[in-house]
Amino acid sequence: MPAHIAGQLHATPAPVWLPYPDDVNAVMPSLWSDNVAKGDDGVLTIAGHPVTELAERFGTPTFVFDVDDFRSRAGLYRDAYAAAFAPEKGLSGVDVFYAGKAFLCTAVAKWVHEAGLGLDTCSLGEMMIAHAAGVPGESIGLHGNNKSLAELEYALDYGVGRIIVDSLDEVDRLEAVAAAKGVIAPVMLRVTVGVEAHTHDFIATAHEDQKFGLSVAAGKAAEAAARVVDSAHLRLDGLHSHIGSQIFDISGFQVAAARVLALRAQIMSDHGVDLPDVDLGGGFGIRYTSQDTPIPVAEMATSLAEVVAKECRGLGTNVPRISIEPGRAIVSPAVFTLYAVGTVKEVVTDSGVRTYVAVDGGMSDNIRTALYDADYSCTLANRNSDAAPAVVRVVGKHCESGDIIVRDEYMGADVAPGDLVAVPGTGAYCRALSSNYNHVARPGVLAVTPDRVDWIVTPETYSQLFANDPGMADATRQ
């Protein structure tokens, strides 16, 4: 940059929510897993393992998974909700289902089951992972707005404990499959209750104009319930509601619970049946940056339990067994992505000089910034910086101007090629939504405990990447 220009411009200002750091080398503990820390040398460690050693041994980019943190969060949800919905408090207990769409592999499925949680799936592939991991069918739920015959057949053969029916078409399809197999399918109806979570439009899923669920207001939920009750091969076990994702406002859950319980009471009265289960979904928000204010787990559990008890008293019904579906809230904080810096570039903008830090991954391993306008934090992971804090933008290597990982964060102004950058909170919807854009191989997932470091998902090879291209057969042998 010409000196006369650089001398006239300041760095681009930080967003109003981004605090100026007292120590640019420090990490904010609430953004990271329990076993992440920084040593006096500025090197990030996880369960005692320096990331410099992990990068040298396993390469970058890599998703780094704190196993003990994941297990701890799963146990926190299990125990907090069990206490809030305990039968001695006049409730009927609770089930916690891990939402596998956030991130799923056989190791995670095993840890979920070992923690006493159920597992929500939404495809044949996810059910196959659960089956291979030894998760019993009764602990599985199957979601999806357009389940195929193959998926429904697999679910019934597997003995899936709940099939969450999403449409009137699916009622007929599932009845035909169950009749052909001579079994009774366990059904929950996914209903839309007109509650829009305070979240991004693309991930708010309970308002009317969207693809999921059976509308209560339009009478579709009541019609579906009547069809299921009248079927000889379907058993109506309950209702399911999901109002969005990354939610920080408890009121949406409270209103949705009240409406679902009112619908349950009406269906039980109209058809003379009991609906023993109500699922209030997931979407519990986490802290990606300092601006996020998630609701403590025990506080949310207690609030939901109070609403369920109050509404059932007012409706004069028995209290159903409640279930919830945290995914992001359990796995996201347990994972960070480790990148290597390749290029640092200062660019003159209308508001000043912006520093772009380009790393060896990008939107192929984290599409959420581009897709949802999500915000992330990051830290220099391989050393301390003595330079003044500067606002940087961490970007990827893909041929898209929107290939941004971290929009704004303070780092030492001396960040340089060869440095390591770690981005926390990448456990959910990063590896799960990863792609091969620009024919880039997807990173692996490295599970870390104090005494072990192992791949639970291996990095994709170029042979795997090109396996479906017959013209690349010779090239991958070279």
The domain spans of the chain are 29-66+333-466, 86-325
Estimate to the nearest angstrom the gap between the alpha carbon of 78 and the chain centroid. Answer: 17
Provide the annotated binding site for pyridoxal 5'-phosphate: 283, 325-328, 429
**pLDDT value of residue 351:** 82
Helix (H, G, I), strand (E, B) or coil at 350: coil
Residue 6: predicted pLDDT: 45
Architecture, CATH, for domain 29-66+333-466:
Beta Barrel (2.40)
Q: Catalytic residues, which ones?
A: 399
What contacts 411, CB < 8 A, 6 or more positions away? 24, 357, 378, 379, 380, 385, 389, 390, 392, 421
Q: Given this model, what pLDDT does residue 1 score?
A: 46
Q: Is the peptide bond before 61 cis (omega within 30 degrees of 0)?
A: yes
415 vs 229, 286, 320, 357, CA distance in Å?
64, 28, 55, 8
Annotated binding site for substrate: 328, 368, 372, 400, 429
Quick one: angle between helices 297-315 and 67-84, nearest 10?
30
Binding-site residue ranges = 283, 325-328, 368, 372, 400, 429
29-66+333-466 and 86-325: identical CATH topology: no
Question: What CATH architecture applies to the domain 86-325?
Answer: Alpha-Beta Barrel (3.20)
Q: Please tell me the predicted confidence (pLDDT) of residue 439.
A: 97
- pLDDT beneath 70: ranges in the chain: 1-9, 196-207, 475-478
Q: How far apart are CA 213 and CA 221, in angstroms?
A: 8
199-228 pLDDT, tens digit each: 555 555 556 777 899 999 899 999 999 999
Q: Encoding tokens for residue 188?
A: 């929950």
- Residue indicated by tokens 């915000």: 375
DSSP strands (E only) in 257-320? 277-279
Helix (H) or strand (E) holding 308: helix 297-315
Model confidence, pTM: 0.94
What is residue 87's three-state secondary structure? helix
Hey, how many other C-beta atoms are within 10 angstroms of the C-beta on 181? 14
SS3 330: helix
Q: What is the DSSP letter of 44?
A: E
